[in-house]
Amino acid sequence: MAQNVPTDRRNIISGIIIVVFVAIIVRLFYIQVIDSRYKLSASNNVLRYITQYPARGLVYDRNGELLVSNKAAYDLMIIPRQVSPFDTTELCNVLSISKETLIASIREARIYSTFKPSILVKQLSSETYAVLQEKLYKYTGLYVQPRTLRSYPRKIAGHILGYVGEVDERTIKKHPYYQLGDYIGTSGLERSYEDELKGKKGVNVYLVDVHNRIKGNYSNGNFDTLATLGNDLTCTIDAKLQEYGEKLMVNKIGGIVAIEPKTGEVLAVISSPSYDPDLLVGRVRSANFRLLDSDTLKPLFNRAIMALYPPGSTFKIVNALIGLHEGVVRPETRYSCDGGYRVGRGVGCHHHPSPLNLIGSVQASCNTYYCNVFRNIIDNKKHGGVEGGFSNWKSHVESFGFGHRLNIDQPNELSGTVPSISFYDRYFRKGGWSSLTIISLSIGQGELGTTPLQMANLTASIANKGHYFTPHLVREVIGTDKNASRFKEPIYTTIDSTWFKYIADGMDLAVNGLPGSGSTARIAAIPGITVCGKTGTAQNPHGNDHSVFIAYAPKENPKIAIAVYVENAGFGATWAAPIASLMIEKYLTDSIARPWMEQRLLDANLLNRRAKKN
Amino acid sequence: MQRRINILRNLDWTTIFLYLALVFMGWLNIYAAVYSEEHNSIFDVSQRYGSQLIWILAALVIASVILLVDSRFYFVFANYIYVALLLLLVSVLIFGVEVNASKSWFHIGSIRIQPAEFAKFATALALAKYMSSYGFKLFRFSSLSTIAFITLLPAGLILLQNDTGSALVYTSFIFILYREGLPHWVMLFLAFFIVLFIFVLVFNKFVLLVILFGITMLLFALLSQKYRDSIRFSLGVLGLGAILYGASEFFNLNISLYYLLLIPLVIAIPIALIYAYLNKIRLVLFLLFFLLSTLTFSFSVDYIFHNVLERHHRERIMDLLGIESDPLGYGYNVNQSKIAIGSGGLMGKGYLQGTQTKYNFVPEQSTDFIFCTVGEEWGFLGSSVVIIVFVVFLLRLIRIAERQKEAFARIYGYGVVSVFTFHTMVNIGMTIGVFPVIGIPLPFFSYGGSSLWAFTILLFIFLKFDSSRRD
Ligand SMILES: [Zn+2]
């Protein structure tokens, strides 16, 4: 018995091997002899795989206006091994390319692979394709692959819509869905919503005979897959407002962000100088990209979310709110100002009535007042020393969305900077700094860096009396129930909502105060609409001050909150305020009642102020 | 001199002839797979057939060297060879280059070496040495765990290189254990869990529960002969399920079918236990254990599949089981491969006449998918001949293994059989869509120096043992 065991097992193992391979032979017999799906009638027939590229999803503005659409284009493909000699002159004429280019492309394709298809000529127009189609039978080994390209009916909002480009090797390795020559969103919404917009490729398998003619679907389409269209997006942009803002910003450098406070929906994002998004489509793309990329004014750079500016005097309202919340200043607290704060290095102030209470200090933007408020906050005994006071101040500031990304649905958003204790410990030394050494934070200068988006978000938080919604650019991915719940949750600042009404009143008076009362932004007033605003003039070590203005309107039922930065343009009231005012008017009334003001802005060219220092 | 003559006389020339036949057919197919009218010389080393010719010549040199070394060398140094290969596997993780997302290659000049290929013969040697040691008993915890350790250590290192296919090869060593006395029921048990694994992925949870419950009741009925009780019991569980279903519909509770069956089953367990106690039937306990362990197993498979496996593994498995089809995704390779093989028909299109494999529709067609070229150009008849040669080769190896007098040589021989069987079965299986595409080469056929040399070493060490068995 014991001796039989090995023979048994030997036979069982041999048996298993025989059974497995007999099964494989049976399966082979089925595939090769019985199942006719895999047959090719003659050995001369070849299969041709034509990828069905789905059109990318369209993008609409908040009112259903088309912002991004598609147009047809055709790639001429080549399978070098199938090519037989042909009349190159004729083909070159049809394609309007030089013979050298054609020969070079064929050589390149041959080097890549003689068997695999490569693109011979990219993105032919429909017209060229129509001519080519009739002659294609003469060129074996060449065929046409339909594609779609982006097109921009309104030619606006290039920065946030973004662009598509050919996918790179690294992405292909990481996501095998993509193949060489596929397009992928590389910036803006095209990138943030790539998964929604791209759809799903399909493939058609055709039988092709020796004369380069498609004889029909292979195996009745059993191996075909349908392409699925990309999902359309409804974005939150108001096309008219966006277009108007871009128009006002021509010949100026800067960024504008407008938000609907109730929802966090972004109404307009302007970064100037901007560019026509159609420039980055099709065969002209790479040349135009190089041109835009080398422009010293950096038109491809989205200043609205990627540029850091000091907030300037607009930041006083944050300090006012922190002071009120911490109880170190009361609405009726008055400080007198005789043209500046004279402790330490001192901070100068402009001429205005004195003394002022809190509302008046917002209205007149008194520097002295905020030096006092800021020192009260930092030196508050409750927090035991400068460091305690400072970190309390910092956490309040960060609750407004400063110093970190707001996580808008755009790539490359900057987080901005709020200085930290360790920064000052390094910059001075531990224990070597006080509320006085960092006093410039009181008026929004110093080590603060904020994006226009963060400033617009601050404005929305004030309009909402203490909370904001994550700013976002897409309201809906059409055809999906995918709702981004993170955009629907209110985010609360650490400031009690009761204090916001004083700020609102101060911002109201800054715009709508009587002449001579110290109002800083009377130019922003719109007849019939209560605009609340705050000017800022952000000092800039590299040149003239930046002109800053934040505002929301109407006061009682805010529908728009806006932040405007114009680089090197000087006082906030001079340029940023009228731009904000016109945009608010445009958005709320859809008309402009102050053509003289509009004309002045359209005519203004502030580009050459750049390098001048005062 | 005398010694060398002995070696030549005692060599198993049948096996060597089969080896040469397979290598030659492999080269013909690599030539066909990359053939193009534009290439002229078959010795063109810039082409794959040219370099494969060099690998083949080198392999023959390696084979001769192996035959010249004293066979005791492999026995004495088995463990050192094993440790050296382990060190190579570790260092490739650190210094290796990544090819197709697997970090398993050394670059030496223009040559690429894949240590994982060579680790197989080293592991087989180490296993053989351990299992043939004096006083070795298979059925000891320490023995089984040492065997598991020897096998799983290289397999784990290879997994870390992200080369799942090569790691799976080590599971084939279960054949050695079976040959050396692992009970039949362990093999049956393994087979059952593999089937269950596939069922978990193919069927939904409810169907699986019905099947498992059905099997349990059927086993009970057949083994205990208590047909009446088993029918009563089944009806009780199903009836309770039906009542729950009615309640769920009436109160609009929307309880899923799965829970409608699971709840009665859980309630039935104590009843079954009382029944078993009263009637003194131990079988019930065994069946309950069976049901619970299979359920736990299917839960964990489900969990691992959806939460632990990476997406591309999941897709390959789903694709293989025909659950999700995605011709441009992972199914694409297999579809292309099936078209190429299928288009070969009975007689094939003739040597160098294939169109599908020529146009590179099949990816990796000279390496992992080399069998496509065989299928397309040589047809069903040619493919069958190739498979039959492989089977004869494998059976011959078994025969040689059985005639060894020393346990060491026999165990090593079964290691050789296991590795060749696994590679051949899985590689051909994946080209025709019956195994997942795990990317392991077809022995002697697939393009590549590392695999050809490694298979040659594996085989010729064994032939050396065989030739010196009468010494
Ligand atoms: Zn003042």
What are B61-104's pLDDT values in tens digits? 999 999 999 888 999 999 999 999 999 999 888 887 776 656 67
Q: Which of B346, B387, B402 sits opposite A25 (nearest CB)?
A: B387
Partner-chain contact A38 B402, CB within 8 Å: no
pLDDT at B417: 95
Task: Measure CB to CB from residue A31 to each of B338, B424, B425 and give the nearest one.
Answer: B338
Contact yes or no for A233/A477 (Cβ under 8 A) = yes
Assign B1 a pLDDT band (cuts: 50, 70, 90): very low
pLDDT band of A114, cuts 50, 70, 90: low
| Nearest residue on chain B to A15, alpha-carbon basis | B395
Whether the predicted pLDDT of B105 surpasses 80: no
Q: Which of residues 54-93 of B touch A (CB under 8 A)?
A: none
Q: What percent of chain A has pLDDT over 90?
A: 10
Count other Cβ atoms within 10 Å, centred on residue A12.
14
**Å from CA of A539 to ligand 1 middle:** 18
Q: Which of B312, B343, B383 sits opposite A40 (nearest CB)?
A: B343
Q: Which of A280-284, A450-454, B33-37 has the highest mean pLDDT?
A: A450-454
| b/e burial code for range B171-205 (CB count within 10 A of at least 16 → b) | ebbebbbbbbebeeeebeeeeeeeebbebbbeeeb
Which residue in A518, A78, A410, A460 sits closest to A261, CA to CA?
Answer: A460
Report the distance separating Cα A251 and Cα A273, nearest Å. 7
CA of residue A311 to ligand 1 center, whole Å: 18
Q: Give the pLDDT score at A2.
A: 39
Give the tens place of pLDDT for each residue, B15-43.
999 999 999 999 988 887 776 555 556 56
Is A39 strand, coil or helix?
coil
Any CB–CB contact under 8 A between B394 and chain A?
Answer: yes
- CB of B341 less than 8 A from some CB of A: yes
- pLDDT above 90 for B399: yes
pLDDT for the residue numbered B326 = 47
- Measure in Å the smallest separation between the Cα of B346 and chain A Cα atoms: 6
Distances (CA, A) of A403 to A235, A397, A487: 26, 8, 19
Contact B343 A38 (CB under 8 A): yes
Give me the mean pLDDT over the B212-232 stretch.
85
- The answer to whether the CB atoms of A24 and B429 lie below 8 A apart is yes
Q: Which residues in B lie closer than 8 A to residue A31 (C-beta atoms)?
A: 338, 341-342, 432
Tokens for A152?
């921009």
Q: Which two tokens stand for residue A247?
A: 């128009």
Mean pLDDT of A145-174: 83
Q: What is the mean pLDDT of residues A553-560?
A: 89
Report how far ligand 1's centroid is from the alpha carbon of A435 (Å).
19
Distance CA B369, CA B365 (A): 4
For residues B107-133, b (16+ Cβ closer than 10 Å) or e, as one string? eeeeebbbbbbbbbbbbbbbbbbbbbe
b/e string for A225-263 if b means 16 or more Cβ within 10 A?
bebebbbbbbbbbbbbbbbbbbebbeebbbbbbbbbbee
Q: Nearest-CA residue of chain A relative to B345?
A: A32
Reported confidence tier of residue A1, pLDDT bands at 50, 70, 90: very low
* Residue A610 confidence (pLDDT) above 70: no
Query: Out of A10, A44, A203, whose CB is closest to B398?
Result: A10
Per-residue pLDDT, A614: 38
Q: Do B312 and A79 touch (CB under 8 A)?
A: no
Mutation site for A-interface testing, chosen from B38, B173, B185, B328 by largest number of A Cβ within 10 Å? B328
Packed helices B370-402 and B13-34: angle between N→C axes, nearest 10 degrees: 170
Task: Indicate if the pLDDT at residue B108 is higher than 80.
Answer: no
Query: Which residues of B fall within a CB distance of 8 Å from A25?
Result: 383-384, 387
What is the token pair recorded at A391?
A: 């970190």
pLDDT of residue B324: 47
Out of A10, A46, A176, name the one closest to residue B402 (CB).
Answer: A10
CA dihedral B59, B64, B70, B75 (to 10 degrees): 20
A537 within 8 A of A572, measured Cβ to Cβ: yes
Mean pLDDT on A311-339: 88
Look up residue A204 and give its two tokens: 């058609």
A171 has a pLDDT exceeding 60: yes
Q: Does A26 touch chain B (CB under 8 A)?
A: no
Expressed in angstroms and rounded, the spacing between residue A30 Cα and the centre of ligand 1 is 93
Residue-wise pLDDT for B273-303, tens only, equals 888 888 888 888 888 888 888 888 887 877 7
Contacts of A115 in chain B (CB under 8 A): 36, 358-360
Tokens of A503: 């700020």
Contacts of A79 in chain B (CB under 8 A): 359
What pLDDT does B318 receive? 63
Domains of chain A in sequence order: 50-235 (3.90.1310.10), 239-275+301-609 (3.40.710.10)
What pLDDT is attached to residue A275?
A: 86
Q: Hunting for tokens 């399978």 — which residue is that?
A: A79
Does the beta-carbon distance from A114 to B38 stay under 8 Å?
A: yes
The answer to whether B425 contacts chain A (CB < 8 Å) is yes
Q: Which amino acid is at B268?
A: A
- Please give the full DSSP string across B400-415, using - where no structure is assigned: HHHT-SSHHHHHHHHH
B350 neighbourhood in chain A, CB within 8 Å: 43
Q: Between vectors from CA A593 to CA A592 and to CA A597, what angle results, nearest 5°?
A: 80
Res. B4 pLDDT band, cuts 50 70 90? low
Confidence of residue B358 (pLDDT cuts 50, 70, 90): low
B175 touches chain A (CB under 8 A): yes
Instruction: Provide the shortest C-alpha distance from residue A133 to chain B (in Å).
Output: 24
Q: Work out the minimum CA distance from A285 to partner chain B, whole angstroms.
A: 29
pLDDT at residue B106 greater than cutoff 70: yes
Distance B41 CA to ligand 1 centre (A): 91
Give CA–CA dist B41/B25, Å, rounded: 19
Which chain B residues in 223-242 lie under 8 Å from chain A, judged by CB atoms? none
Tokens of A249: 């910003």
Question: pLDDT band at residue A538, thresholds of 50, 70 and 90?
Answer: confident
Q: Would you say residue A32 has pLDDT above 90?
A: no
* Spatial distance between the Cα atoms of A166 and A180, rounded to a whole number of angstroms: 8
pLDDT above 80 for A460: yes
Q: What's the DSSP call for residue A33?
A: I
Structure token digits, residue B198: 């596939």
Strand pairing class (B97-99; B102-108): antiparallel
A341 Cα to the center of ligand 1, angstroms: 8
Residues 6+ apart with CB under 8 A from A499: A321, A324, A325
> What's the CA-to-centroid distance between A500 and ligand 1, angstroms?
22
What's the CA-to-centroid distance between B73 and ligand 1, angstroms? Answer: 96
| Cβ contact B432–A24 (<8 Å) | yes
Evaluate if residue A182 carries a pLDDT over 60.
yes
Q: Does B429 touch chain A (CB under 8 A)?
A: yes
Contact list, B428 vs chain A (CB under 8 Å): 24
d(CA A355, ligand 1 centre) in Å: 8
For residue range B115-137, what is the model confidence (pLDDT) as tens digits? 888 999 999 999 999 999 888 88
User: Do the chains contact at B387 and A39, CB–CB below 8 Å?
Assistant: no
A448: CA distance to ligand 1 center in Å? 22
Residues of A in contact with B344 (CB under 8 A): 32
How far is residue A457 from each of residues A263, A362, A420, A462, B1, measured CA to CA in Å?
11, 19, 22, 9, 92
Tens-digit pLDDT profile for residues B181-219: 888 888 888 888 777 777 776 677 788 888 888 888 888
**Minimum distance, in Å, between the CA of residue A216 and any CA atom of chain B:** 16
Contacts of B391 in chain A (CB under 8 A): 17-18, 21
Look at residue A41 and tell me whether its pLDDT is greater than 50: no
User: What distances in angstroms separate CA A2 from CA A6, A81, B99, B184, B185, one per listed residue?
Assistant: 8, 65, 50, 15, 18
Enumerate residues 6+ apart whose C-beta is below 8 A from A478: A57, A231, A232, A233, A234
CA pair distance B245, A54, nearest whole angstrom: 45
Q: Using a CB-CB distance cutoff of 8 angstroms, which residues of chain A are in contact with residue B351?
A: none
Contacts of B346 in chain A (CB under 8 A): 32-33
* Structure confidence at residue A593 (pLDDT): 84
Give how far B85 is from chain A: nearest CA, Å: 29
Q: Mutation target for A interface from B98, B339, B381, B395: give the one with most A CBs within 10 A.
A: B339
Stretch (H or E) spanning A601: helix A595-603
Strand extents, DSSP E, A421-504: 467-469, 474-477, 490-492
CB contact under 8 Å between B178 and A9, yes or no, is: yes
- For residues B448 and B367, the answer to whether their CB atoms sit within 8 Å is yes
pLDDT at B327: 44
**pLDDT score, position B381:** 93
- The pTM for the full model equals 0.63
Distance B297 CA to ligand 1 centre (A): 76
Q: How far is the CA of A441 from the centre of ligand 1 (A)?
A: 16
Average pLDDT over every residue of A5-15? 80
